Structure formats: structure tokens, C-alpha cells
Amino acid sequence: MPRFAQLVMGPAGSGKSTYCSTMVQHSESLNRSVQVVNLDPAAEHFDYPVMADIRELIQVDDVMEDPSLRFGPNGGLVFCMEYFANNFDWLEESLGHVEDDYILFDCPGQIELYTHLPVMRQLVEQLQQWEFRVCGVFLVDSQFMVESFKFISGVMAALSAMVSLEIPQVNIMTKMDLLSPKAKKEIEKYLDPDMYSMMDDNSDNIRSTKFKKLTKAICELIDDYSMVRFLPFDRSDEEGVNIVLQHIDFSIQYGEDLEFKEPKVKMHKHLLKHSKMSCLVIAMHLAV
């Protein structure tokens, strides 16, 4: 039997632990068993039980206090993750092997782990060897994404993780519940963006010809290949949380042997469009 996993990724402060907590509570309401593994050696606290905690193996504070290493916070975290990659047997023992496992891996927020370091890719490959079907869940703070240039930066961060890990990925805008009604209305255009119009809106703010060409190339790449789209995540909206979970379940084929039931929830227009696009992207991944 396959096992299932979400790699919950995103910048520091994007709401990864809150997302895990919400998903655990939501799954309990559906009588589904979901476990969480903390992979952040610098984590301070979380309000849900974990089946494994990397801090039992190594902690950033211990590394930083070691006089022979003299690492700062970022260097210490990288050291911890590389140590973790050399000790996957600890994770295997902690996970055990129970049929139909569904595990959320709460990952660190340092972007270099998903760009030029091999640690997360090694983790994905190891999980796949353990018969896990893995989906990347990349979170960005919706409060950060309300300006075009910041949005493009967030898109590139999500894209870097997607390219590095080569697994199905669902991108999510978190903390929608913290936005004002006006901001919620404005951010809808970023959920399924028209990159060409976004580029035109900001062309006057770019003085350098080189940067204007670079921005145009990035926008065209994202738009032409429909590579990155976002789902909204409001932890207080059960319907919205369920839609996000349905997208992720589909990407890893969770419950494919169960009897199909028509969803009772009605998708908003942008979510329905995203659903169709997700099917296309996931089909491309499965075909590779």
C-alpha cells in the first residue's frame, strides 16, 4: 500500500505550522488520520502533537553554541539539515510503517534549502523509496503578495521549489483571514494572474531597460506555461480548507480506491479554473 506525504514549505512566517494545525483539525472532523513531523530544527513551539521531531536528533541552538563550529542562525540550520540528510535512518525508525500513512512534514523556511542545496531533494527521493507519494505544498503570506513586484518574487520562490524537487506542487496564499474585505477583493487577481497586464501596469516603474526585459521574460515564462497558480487559504473557512485538501489529495491520488462522491462544496470561479489547471499540471508530472 502506498503512503502519502505533504512537504509543507514556504518562507519563514508564511504560516506553515498554522497550516499543519488547521489541516490536522480539519482531518479529524473528517475522521481521517493525519500525522505531523517537525523538520525545523529551529522551531520553538506548535500547538499539535508530532509523531517525530527533528530537534530530538539535532537543534540549531546546540550547533550555534558549539565553539568548534561558530555558526550563525542560517549556517547552523544548514548544518542541521545536512546532518539530518546523513541520518535518514532516524526518520525511518520514527515513522515506522503503517498502511495508509498520511503525514505532513513541517519544513524549515530557508529558501536556500530549495534552490542550491540538495537536502530537500534527497528527502523526497528517500520518501519515494519508502513508497510515499509526495506533494509539495508551498505557502506564501497573502499580506506580502498584494503588490505586483512582491507577487513576482513569491512566484519565483514557488517555482524554484517546484523545479528543484520535481514533484506535484500546490501553491497556497495563507492568512486570507487577516486581510481586510478590500484587500481580499484586490488579491483575487493574484490567485489566477494575467502576467501580461501585470507587467504593463508596472512597466513605468522600471527605469532600467535590462530589468524591464528581465521582468518581461519572467512574466512571459510564467504566463505561457501556466506554471504557478495559487489557492487561497483561510483557516476559518472550512469549505476553503476542504478545497485545498481536495487538490492535494488529487495530486497524490489519495483515496483513489474509495468510492467517488461528488463534492458538496461549490467552488468559486477562480478555484474551479485552478482545479482544471491543477489536473493538467499533475497529469504532466504523472506522465514523466
* pLDDT tens digits, 225-244: 667 789 999 999 999 999 99
Per-residue pLDDT at 123 exceeds 60: yes
Its pTM stands at 0.83
Alpha carbon distance 99, 212 (integer Å): 52
* pLDDT tens digits, 53-98: 999 999 999 999 998 888 998 999 999 999 999 999 999 999 987 7
CATH homologous superfamily, domain 3-193+229-287:
P-loop containing nucleotide triphosphate hydrolases (3.40.50.300)
Q: Where are the domains of the chain?
A: 3-193+229-287, 195-226
Listing DSSP states for 208-258 in one string gives -HHHHHHHHHHHHHHHHTT---EEE--TT-HHHHHHHHHHHHHHTTTTTTS
Helix (H) or strand (E) holding 152: helix 148-165
Alpha carbon distance 136, 8 (integer Å): 6
